[in-house]
Amino acid sequence: MIGLAFVFMFGISSYTGDTIFSDGTTRIFAAFGSCFTLLKLLDWLRLFEQTAFYVLLVGETLSDIKFFLLVLFITLMMFGAPMLMLNSNDASLIGSTFNFWFLDMLFNQYLLALGEFSTLDNFADNDQGKLAYLFFIFATFISQLTILNMLITVMGDTYERITENTEVNATMTKLTIMNDMNALLPHETSSKQKDVYLFVTMPLNDDGDDNDSWEGSLKKIVRVVDKNTQ
């Protein structure tokens, strides 16, 4: 709702030429408003069976990598700090995108992890160029090869866990958004309600598997094979 208000305000201001705020401020509001509006559209996709699963997958993936992002953050600092210490005005190893050393350091290492080596040409002109190359090699091996591949592995494990019960997870996602809208629906008092029933469903565990927690596809296959061969 807030996003639509921002977008509507920007549209009216652009059409009439009368602005409550400055042009730059209005565009900032419009940028956030359009982002929040499309985010809400993504949230409403939970109502449809074909898209509810993917919305759930995005949410679960972000939830599963939240602690991994801390490891990534520390890794970026681990190699960004030495580069900052070796940085010089004559041969900049970091760059000055934000004009603040901490943000510039993180941004430089983030680009390096993605394969952007814009400051590599300045290494040779630095007084400690050989040492800078050494940190660069270690940074690419750890940040670019190891950490990012670990991130892909974590996301792949989340995908397997969610796709194992695709229909169930899609239904649960739709029920969640229906529960969010429950407060907007009219409710009858208990005196007016008639023939109220409570249906309880219990899963059938035919294989005797009492472990409902996700343990990874490979480990699960090994456990099932061991159980069937006993």
Rounded Cα distance, 175 and 153, in Å: 30
70-94 confidence digits (pLDDT tens): 999 999 999 999 888 888 665 577 8
Type of residue found at 226: D
Question: Which pLDDT score, from 0 to 100, does residue 77 have?
Answer: 93
Q: What is the mean pLDDT of residues 89-116?
A: 83
Higher-scoring residue by pLDDT: 76, 126: 76
Q: Is the dihedral of CA 22, 24, 25, 26 positive or negative?
A: positive
Establish how many alpha carbons lie within 13 A of residue 146's alpha carbon, considering only the half-sphere containing its beta carbon: 11
Q: Which of 22-26, 36-40, 163-167, 223-227 has the highest mean pLDDT?
A: 36-40
pLDDT in tens, 180-224: 777 776 666 556 666 667 777 776 765 555 555 555 666 667 666
Q: What was the pLDDT predicted at 188?
A: 62
What value does the CA radius of gyration of the chain take, rounded to a whole number of Å? 26
Residue 168 near residue 40 (C-beta atoms within 8 A): no
Q: How many whole angstroms separate alpha carbon 217 and alpha carbon 16?
A: 59
**The pLDDT of residue 172 is above 80:** no
Amino acid, single-letter form, for residue 25: T
Q: Are 89 and 127 in contact (CB under 8 A)?
A: no
The DSSP H or E segment spanning 171 is helix 166-180
In this structure, is the dihedral angle defined by the CA atoms of residues 148, 149, 150 and 154, taken in order, positive or negative?
positive
pLDDT digits (tens, 9 = 90+) for 47-71: 787 788 888 888 889 999 999 999 9
Contact present, 139 and 109 (Cβ < 8 Å):
yes
Question: Among candidates 85, 132, 84, which has minimal Cα distance to 95?
Answer: 84
DSSP 210: -
CB atoms near residue 157 (< 10 Å): 16
**What are the structural domain ranges in the chain?**
2-46, 48-180+217-230
Q: pLDDT at position 4, please?
A: 57
CB contact set of 67 (below 8 Å; sequence gap of 6+): none
Closest CA to 117 of 98, 101, 134, 140: 140
Candidates 117, 54, 60; CA nearest to 83 is: 117
> Which stretch of DSSP H or E encloses residue 130?
helix 129-139
